[in-house]
Structure 1
Amino acid sequence: MYTQAIHDLAIDLGRMLAKSVGLASKLFKGWSCHLRINKYNFTPQTVGSTALRMHTDSGFLTLLQDDENVSGLEFVDKSGASVSIDPWPGTLLHRVQCKEASIRVSIASFFLGPKEAAVEAPPELVDSENPRQFVPFTYEDYRKLRLSINLHVGEALQFVRSHS
């Protein structure tokens, strides 16, 4: 029930985003959603350490149900500084930092991308004033690229950037 509700929410958000820029809302049909429960068993010896290094998520959208009792989620602002936050929408680059000796739990739902279709800017959004910034690629190829050369903070996009 929970996973289906989260998947439906991700699809609805994708549809609303598509509609807001005048695109067909069926763009996100068939995209998968993966759920992961994260448990960090922080001890007095781990306070101050990084539990999950800084990274960007590789999917289209991440919905995070964060622990309400134990802090630790951080995002990186435009200056590059890590900022400790309560759950806050719109953050991209983030990490989990051990702030106290306690168990911390979060549930992350990743709305990934089409299984086999190309990820690309819809033709309706591309013209001479707004050219494609990236070549079409499959989500699976993008994930493999990120993993093959150990990229975590969005650097893989440079390898799919359009040079036209």
Structure 2
Amino acid sequence: MSTELAWPEPVTRVQQLSDSGIRVIPDRYVKNPEDQPGAAASDGPNIPVIDMEGLSSGDAEVRRRTAALINEACREWGFFQVTNHGVSPELMERCREAWREFFQLPLAEKQRYANSPATYEGYGSRLGVEKGVPLDWNDYFFLYFLPIGIKDENKWPTLPVGIRELAAEYSREVVELCGKLMKILSRNLGLKEDYLLEAFGGEEELGACMRVNYYPKCPQPDRTLGLSSHSDPGGMTLLYSDENVFGLQVRRGDTWITVKPQPNTFIVNLGDQLQILSNDNYKSVEHRVIVNSAKERVSLAYFYNPKGDKVIKPAEELVSPEQPLRCSPTTYNDYRLYVRKKGLHGKTQLESL
């Protein structure tokens, strides 16, 4: 991965802007009129909520129905929520609140972990290195967990006390859940159970990383976005969101639907690499984040990705005269370099394949 990427301008922390008491956001955060969220927002239906307990039921019909619900959500929505997923609710809450505390630390402490676009690991406030592009209203902390060789605990914060241990325990449980979901998706596609996992490089080589998003209060939430519209470039994302402050919106046709997170659930969304592997049977769907004038918001996004140099292409079993090859082969390293340079731009990268 290139190490020559650098921020084109001094980095401004959005939290500092919010805390300064400004009433008008700087021009660089103002989105183009067609991208501003006000008129396009819709409450609409919620994304599917699926109880994973049904997958371990003693009743074969219950197991079949639960798997079918996941299959339908992957084909029709690209998004769904899971309950009874096996990750400790107490751990989820403790981890999120530890990160909330991190963002309330003095700026000098957070700046110790300031990141660069070479890897994005650490404390950041922008994506992409294009000069003068509209920026998103958020700060974040990005860290790597897998493969083992890439993890550098020196880049993990030490404050608040215990945050490293919490983040590691949370990572282990979420990665295990991702592995379970990958097996279900493989079977639903008619592939062998470990097909998708092996396509990612197997347990020893796949990638796993977390981005903790901090969305400060915004005096003009109708003019900007916490995250611009995009589909996730990787494999699968598990989002633990703040159920008290809505922010995630999913594109459904020409409408943006505001997701209503349920307590102790993960929002699962498929990334571009799974759309490629499934030969477009499964969809990675555009989504974005709106911000709030009265409340901050914290979310934990966990990314489960292919090994960087693994060639990703549609499964041969899913290519036929009726459904010909939909995408050209790529590697995840090549694919994500586009995002590291350009930032978030809808589904333009996937469409180029």
Fold match, TM over 0.5? yes
Match of 1:93 among 286, 295, 305: 286
Q: Which has the higher helix share?
A: 2
Q: Matches of residues 103-118 of structure 1 in structure 2 within 5 Å?
A: 103-118=296-311
Q: Matches of residues 1-164 of structure 1 in structure 2 within 5 Å?
A: 1-27=169-195, 28=197, 29=202, 30-43=205-218, 45-48=219-222, 49-79=224-254, 81-87=255-261, 92-150=285-343, 152-160=345-353
In 2, distance between residues paired with 1:65 and 1:73? 11
The aligned length equals 158
| Identity value in percent | 29
In 2, distance between residues paired with 1:108 and 1:158? 24
Q: How far apart are residue 62 of structure 1 and its match?
A: 0.9
Listed one character per residue, the Cα deviations across residues 94-138 of structure 1 (whole Å, up to 9, x for unaligned) are: 111113322210000011223321111122222333321111111
RMSD: 2.1
Residue ranges of structure 1 left out of the alignment (5+ in a row): none
Q: Which has the higher strand share?
A: 1
CA contact (8 A) 1:116 1:138 kept: yes
In 2, distance between residues paired with 1:120 and 1:104? 36
CA contact (8 A) 2:217 2:291 kept: yes
In 2, distance between residues paired with 1:117 and 1:64? 25
Cα 1:154–1:83 change in 2 (3 A) is same
CA contact (8 A) 2:229 2:344 kept: no
State which structure, 1 or 2, has the greater radius of gyration over its C-alpha atoms: 2
In 1, distance between residues paired with 2:209 and 2:349? 21
Q: Which structure is higher in RCO with an 8 Å CA cutoff and minimum separation 6? A: 1
Residue ranges of structure 2 left out of the alignment (5+ in a row): 1-168, 262-266, 270-283
